[in-house]
A and B are shown apart, each in its own frame.
Chain A
Amino acid sequence: DAKTTQPNSMESNEEEPVHLPCNHSTISGTDYIHWYRQLPSQGPEYVIHGLTSNVNNRMASLAIAEDRKSSTLILHRATLRDAAVYYCILRAINAGNMLTFGGGTRLMVKP
């Protein structure tokens, strides 16, 4: 499976934008990029996913580099509730819905 590399932790101030990076230099042409997050003491929840083009939804935006070797999850205005571990995951198109979680980035949001 293609692997992802994320910083262990990041800090942000409340109501400021947050850019969470993810490197995936061995990504194949058919791998989707997924982001999940896990709030304290909860199960993970889906945030966003994309293949080649940038994506927006109500939770976040996903910016994908032109060569697809990196991506960035953007939270436009961080709130205290956004403090969580964010996982960047590659999903192979022929792997059904299987996800392989790495260590993720722990985002801390300061009031």
Chain B
Amino acid sequence: NAGVTQTPKFRVLKTGQSMTLLCAQDMNHEYMYWYRQDPGMGLRLIHYSVGEGTTAKGEVPDGYNVSRLKKQNFLLGLESAAPSQTSVYFCASSYSVSGSYEQYFGPGTRLTVT
């Protein structure tokens, strides 16, 4: 059981470039989330999904797009990267049923935009 995995682990982009971060989970979780964490700060929710084919905006969605074509995968896209998007990105997943509250997090992707 790999849990939540993220690809890539590190990436450096130039301003204006695009990229896609991949999150995969093997726990059959319905919910998936993308967060960003800036230095010395807590995590902020970017987008989330409550099931295959659905996505919704979180607290800081601007500049990002997401897709959930398969239940086990949640993709985060940056169409035109900006230095303000330099951050560590975490993916998480959880069950949706009442009583299953725990979110499981991936190891993170460290993104630098120059």
Contact = CB atoms under 8 A, between A and B. Distances in A.
A99 interface: yes
Query: Among the interface residues B95, B102, B104, which one has the most CB atoms of the partner chain A within 10 A?
Result: B102
A56 B106 CA distance: 25
Contacts of B35: 101
Given A42-B108, A96-B31, A102 B42 contact: yes
A41 to B, nearest CB: 8
B90 interface: yes
A97 B108 contact: no
A68 interface: no
Contacts of A36: 103
Interface string B42-60: 1111001010000000110
Interface residues of A, number: 21
Contacts of B94: 97
Contacts of B42: 87, 101-104
B48 to A, nearest CB: 7
A41 B42 CA distance: 13
A43 B92 CA distance: 9
B96 interface: yes
A43 B106 contact: yes
Contacts of B108: 41-43
A44 B90 contact: yes
A100 B101 contact: no
Contacts of B95: 97
B64 to A, nearest CB: 17
A39 to B, nearest CB: 11
Interface string B66-82: 00000000000000000
A20 B4 CA distance: 28
Interface of B: 4, 31, 35, 41-45, 48, 50, 58-59, 90, 92, 94-96, 101-108
Given A34-B101, A46-B101, 13 more contacts: A32-B101, A42-B105, A43-B4, A43-B107, A46-B102, A46-B104, A91-B101, A96-B31, A99-B45, A101-B42, A101-B43, A102-B42, A103-B42
